[in-house]
């Protein structure tokens, strides 16, 4: 106990001595101004400086398109038509050389913790593909093989708009939550010649058109994280959605990658993006659709 009392007494004496020395020094010489702040604001600090920042980002996204579809295939007059269920996969090498027109860009407007952002994709492409499936014969007891040589045309425009609020941030990272709407008119046109049955009987040529328009309310998280005070950063984005229009479905989207911020505020981004649709009605032409692939973009400050 005596040792504790002595320790407290020594500590009090040191504090009193430091205080008296500081007072004497203050009386002897006038106080000098505090040194100015030497550290410059980080890229994240600039984004949250209270001003309005508007960004436009054209980009190129080359996803592999995978889908599960079902449609009616006509057969001979003596046989009823059936439902063919099939899957297909079209990679960038299949449709990029055959793109008729395309446009892809994102935008973002932020002031403080509030931001409004959106994304728009338009794609018009054609490709040739082969689809294999089966249709049910009379009473569903016979499975008839079907092969379709199709000239497929994909014409679609995907748009997304959302409003977000920053829930956490520091000098080098932030995290925002958002609520928005995404619309995706899934328009595929197949011009086909169907070979039905093992004997190779040709059904009449024709076309198959899918025209589902998904409208989904989406909710998610997004943000960026810089590597200390460097120019390099990692973006992150994830959302989930539920169909709000006439077409019932479920959707989710996510991307991440690496970016580089220039001193003038513009950025270069390389990422991997995935957009997924499922949970459609059993009678819908579209049963599942996935767009998954690399993305390269560049942002401009307006």
Report whether pLDDT(91) > 80: no
pTM of the model: 0.73
Q: Which two tokens stand for residue 108?
A: 């973002």
Among 15-24, 72-81, 165-174, the range of highest mean pLDDT: 165-174
Task: Say what the pLDDT of residue 50 is.
Answer: 92
Exposed, middle or buried, 3 (CB in 10 Å: 0-12/13-18/19+)?
A: exposed
Of the candidate ranges 49-53, 86-90, 115-119, 157-161, the one whose mean pLDDT is the lowest? 86-90
Of these ranges, 31-40, 46-55, 142-151, the one predicted with the greatest mean pLDDT is 46-55
d(CA 63, CA 70): 22
Task: For residue 266, give Cα distances in angstroms to 48, 50, 114, 120, 127.
Answer: 16, 18, 20, 20, 36
Three-class secondary structure of residue 15 per DSSP: helix
pLDDT band for 209, please (50, 70, 90 cuts).
Answer: low
- Lowest-confidence segment of 35-44, 95-104, 292-301 by average pLDDT: 35-44
Is the predicted pLDDT of residue 198 greater than 70, yes or no? no
Which fold would CATH assign to domain 43-301? Lipocalin (2.40.128)
CA distance 248 to 234: 34
Of 26 and 123, the structure prediction assigns the larger pLDDT to 123
Q: Is the pLDDT of residue 99 over 60?
A: yes
Query: Residues 131-174: pLDDT tens digits?
Result: 555 555 555 555 556 555 556 566 678 999 999 999 999 999 99
């Amino acid at each position: 106990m005596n040792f504790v009392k002595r320790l407290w007494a020594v500590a009090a004496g040191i504090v009193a001595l430091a205080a008296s020395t500081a007072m004497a020094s203050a009386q002897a010489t006038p106080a000098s101004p505090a040194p100015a702040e030497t550290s410059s604001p980080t890229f994240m600090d600039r984004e949250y400086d209270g001003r309005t920042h508007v960004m436009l980002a054209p980009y190129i996204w080359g996803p592999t398109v995978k889908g599960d579809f079902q449609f009616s295939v006509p057969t001979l007059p003596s046989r009823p038509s059936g439902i063919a269920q099939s899957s297909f996969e079209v990679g960038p090498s299949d449709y990029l050389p055959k793109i008729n027109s395309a446009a892809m860009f994102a935008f973002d407007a932020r002031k403080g913790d509030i931001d409004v952002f959106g994304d728009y994709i338009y794609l018009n492409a054609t490709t040739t593909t082969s689809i294999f499936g089966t249709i049910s014969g009379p009473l569903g007891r016979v499975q008839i093989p079907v092969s379709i040589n199709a000239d497929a045309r994909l014409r679609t425009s995907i748009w997304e708009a959302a409003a977000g609020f920053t829930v956490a941030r520091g000098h080098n990272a932030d995290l925002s939550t958002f609520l928005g709407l995404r619309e995706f008119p899934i328009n595929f046109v197949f011009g086909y010649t169907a070979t039905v049955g093992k004997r190779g009987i040709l059904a009449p040529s024709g076309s198959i058109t899918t025209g589902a328009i998904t409208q989904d309310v989406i909710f998610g998280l997004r943000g960026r994280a810089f590597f200390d005070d460097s120019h390099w950063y990692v973006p992150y984005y994830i959302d989930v959605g539920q169909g709000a229009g006439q077409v019932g479905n479920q959707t989710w989207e996510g991307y991440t990658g690496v970016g580089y911020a220039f001193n003038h505020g513009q950025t270069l981004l390389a990422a991997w993006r995935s957009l997924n649709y499922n949970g459609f009605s059993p009678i819908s032409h579209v049963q599942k659709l996935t767009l998954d692939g690399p993305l390269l973009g560049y942002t401009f400050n307006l």
